[in-house]
Amino acid sequence: MKIHKPRLSVIVPNYNHSRFLVKLLQNIMSQSFCPMEILVIDDGSTDNSVEVVMEFAKQNQLVQLFLNGENRGVIYSANRGAELASGDYIYFAAADDLFLPGIFEESMSLLSRYPDAGLCSAIVEVQRQDGTSYPACIERISSNECFLSPTDCLKLLRLHDSWMGGNSTIFQRAAYLKAGGLTPELGALSDVFLEMVIALTHGVCFVPNTLAVQSLADSSYSAVARADWTASMNMYSEAANLMRTTYRELFPTDYVNAWQQRELHVVRLTTLKRIHMEEMGVIRSFFKDKSLIDRLFIFCINSVIQFHLFAIVTFLFLSLGKEFRRVIVRRVRVGFLRIRHMQKRNHMERIVSAKKNWST
């Protein structure tokens, strides 16, 4: 088999992330597979980001700085970077996320063997603000690195919905541009939607290793977008509309209907959970000096609200229908697997810590 030797461009959309930039650029430069260029797209930063990048670029000719002039948003910056890039493949490096050693080498090696693939993704580990972490994809798509045809991808989407992990994904630049890039109207969902379109058009590669870590912060772009109930509902409705119109040849109608119902279901659950937490926060603030009676009252109120929430969740779940419930059940199962994964990891960390303390 003839081995294709692809070139990689790394794109860094940046807005006021000067404190992360040096570490991020050093991480890129230290990878075993060196990109041909690093394009920093500054989106009108008001901190010293521009100065930091210019100083770094003096010592590293691969780094190039482009200015938007004004704040246009991360989607505009990403699409602009894709247009400016010279490589066959593009990788978007978020300033506040982490990609692990070997991500470029493992992904590009697989892509070189399957040059028709539209992208390559791996397993992403999600890191919470409390320091705990879990793999975003527990049920592995494959135990071996592989190429998945568009037909394979559709089967997997029916089982899992999208498994392709954001900051582990390397796009074929031509496939990215042909698909129209990120869709601004879809906001935080734009990358997931684009990955599905590319997967059903070109097929994708998959590396069954954890190659990236995503920070799950309340201030992140996706978290802020999904915290808005109306915006989230509109975002998923717009994506479903695109599936039924512009991309109707890729997405079967039954899948679109099921996907939309599931995603709106998750939005409803997330909103209910947030309302519950906010309500309990307000109630607890009423009692500054918590006596036994106060704590008992708070417990009873919380139990009533939890039962109320459980009743709504159960009704919504049962109303989904068999085909819609199937993937939700899988997601719940994955949730339990994540909990077990974190418990096992915490247990192992305690054992390691205990051994260190014992040896000292």
| DSSP states along 269-321 | HHHHHHHHHHHHHHHHHT-SS--HHHHHHHHHHHHHHHHHHHHHHHHHHHTT-
β-bridge pairing 119-128 and 133-135 = antiparallel
Secondary structure string (H, E, C) spanning 173-206: HHHHHHCCCCCHHHHHHHHHHHHHHHHHHHCEEE
Find tokens 């991360």 and name the residue.
74
Domain ranges in the chain with CATH number 3.90.550.10? 8-226
For residue 152, is it left (φ>0), alpha (ψ between -120 and 50) or beta? alpha
Between CA 165 and CA 125 the distance in angstroms is 9
- Give CATH for domain 8-226: 3.90.550.10
Between CA 200 and CA 358 the distance in angstroms is 54
The helix or strand, by DSSP H or E, that contains position 351, with its residue range, turns out to be helix 322-359
**15 contact partners, CB below 8 Å, separation of at least 6:** 42, 43, 44, 45, 49, 71, 74, 77
The helix or strand, by DSSP H or E, that contains position 171, with its residue range, turns out to be strand 170-172
Q: Quick one: tokens of 155?
A: 């089967």
- Output the CA–CA distances (angstroms, integers) from residue 104 to 15, 315, 332, in the order listed: 24, 45, 32
How does pLDDT run along the chain (360 residues), one tens digit per residue?
Answer: 455 578 999 999 999 999 999 999 999 999 999 999 999 999 999 999 999 999 999 999 999 999 998 999 999 999 999 999 999 999 999 877 788 899 999 999 999 999 999 999 998 887 766 555 555 554 568 889 999 999 999 999 988 788 887 889 999 999 999 999 999 999 989 999 999 999 999 999 999 888 988 876 555 555 555 567 788 888 999 999 999 999 999 999 989 988 888 888 778 887 888 887 888 888 878 877 777 888 888 888 888 878 877 777 777 667 666 555 555 555 555 555 555 555 555 444 443 443 344 444
